[in-house]
A and B are shown apart, each in its own frame.
Chain A
Amino acid sequence: MAPQADSVVWLDGSGPPRPRRGPAVPHSVLGMLLVVVMELMMFAGLVSAYLVAQAANPGSWPPPGQPRLPIEATAFNTLVLLASGALVWVAGRSFASAETLGASGTVGAAERAKADRLLLIGTLLGSFFVLFQGFEWVRLINEGLTLNYSTHGSFFYLIVGTHALHAIVALGALSWAYGKLRGGLLTDGAFWTVRILWFFVVGLWPALYALVYLS
């Protein structure tokens, strides 16, 4: 039986031209999604440990004499982080529009400038979130809530600190993307990769806030 025409491969490369397609999903995007799945499992493990420890200490979670966690201030900080996520989302839409329209046209250039501006503001808001968290940590440590104070204190620093570490890494990636965007070198796939990490950081925080601060 003769092979199908589109499955024939000439050894000298003289076969019929076949359209060359890029990957269905950019490799960096797929890689970042796998990283996010792994990180999600790590946080699921931390949350599980927290819930078990909480169940094992009924009536003393958090311990009665422990310094109070800044619930209201962190609620405000949560809103700041959510605003940052929304701005980065809109920046991505504007960037995609600029890519479609072409940056040389007036509308495309305006969209690119909008993406530039929104990404900068979103990154600054994210940085504010991390700095505010650091400020709250210093205040709590001064009040006596250290890593060794109680099991609750240990979990607080472990879970919130792990999230802050992810936020710092994601902010570094956003800053890198901003630099590339300013230089006109940012690709759609690279921007998506960075945004996925930031959306993970933003989307995870409200759940952690509800668990650690409100439960």
Chain B
Amino acid sequence: MSHPARHARLLPGWLAAVCAVVLLAPDLAHACSVCPLGSGRTGKAYLITGLLISATQLIAVGSLVWWWRRRVRQAESGDVTDPT
């Protein structure tokens, strides 16, 4: 007997179709009230700020996790001096 999860879909078919339309043609969705303004200078600003926000969180959380793991390794080897 096969496991039921093997046949489970991530999304129902109709919802997957809606998601595909929204992703491929975002103008149809108008999910963001200012998205229709996103052309020329404003469009470039959207792109830059989108990258800024994405990069900021990845770098901030990534740095924190990296530093914390380094501290744990130092603590395990008994080489801890101060919280930096």
* Contact flag A37-B64 (CB < 8 Å), given A55-B41, A55-B45, A56-B42: yes
| A47 within 8 A of partner (CB) | yes
The answer to whether A192 touches B82, judged by C-beta atoms less than 8 angstroms apart, is yes
Question: For residue A96, which residues in chain B have a CB less than 8 angstroms away from its CB?
Answer: 82
Chain B residues with CB under 8 Å of A49's CB are: 49
CA distance A52 to B75 in the complex (A): 45
Q: Is A41's beta carbon under 8 Å from chain B? A: yes
Complex partner residue of A48 from B49, B64, B68, B72, CB under 8 angstroms: B49
Q: Of A27-35, A131-139, A165-173, which binds chain B?
A: A27-35
- Distance to closest chain A CB from B42 (angstroms): 5
CA distance A47 to B83 in the complex (A): 30
A26→B82 CA distance, assembly (Å): 10
The answer to whether B56 and A41 touch across the interface, beta carbons within 8 angstroms, is: yes
Tell me the count of chain B residues lying within 8 A, CB to CB, of chain A: 27
On whether the beta carbons of B53 and A45 are closer than 8 Å, the reply is: yes
Assess the B53–A33 pair: CB atoms within 8 A: no
Which residues on the B side are within 8 Å of A23 (C-beta)? 75
Name 29 A/B residue pairs within 8 A (Cβ), A-sorted: A23-B75, A24-B68, A24-B72, A24-B74, A25-B71, A25-B72, A26-B83, A37-B57, A37-B64, A40-B60, A41-B56, A41-B57, A41-B60, A44-B53, A44-B56, A45-B53, A47-B52, A48-B50, A48-B52, A49-B49, A52-B49, A55-B42, A55-B45, A56-B42, A56-B45, A58-B41, A188-B83, A189-B83, A192-B84
Interface residues of B (CB under 8 A from A): 34, 37, 41-42, 44-46, 48-50, 52-53, 56-57, 60-61, 64, 68, 71-72, 74-76, 80, 82-84
A-side residues, CB < 8 A to B, are 21, 23-26, 29-30, 33-34, 37, 40-41, 44-45, 47-49, 51-52, 54-56, 58, 96, 188-189, 192
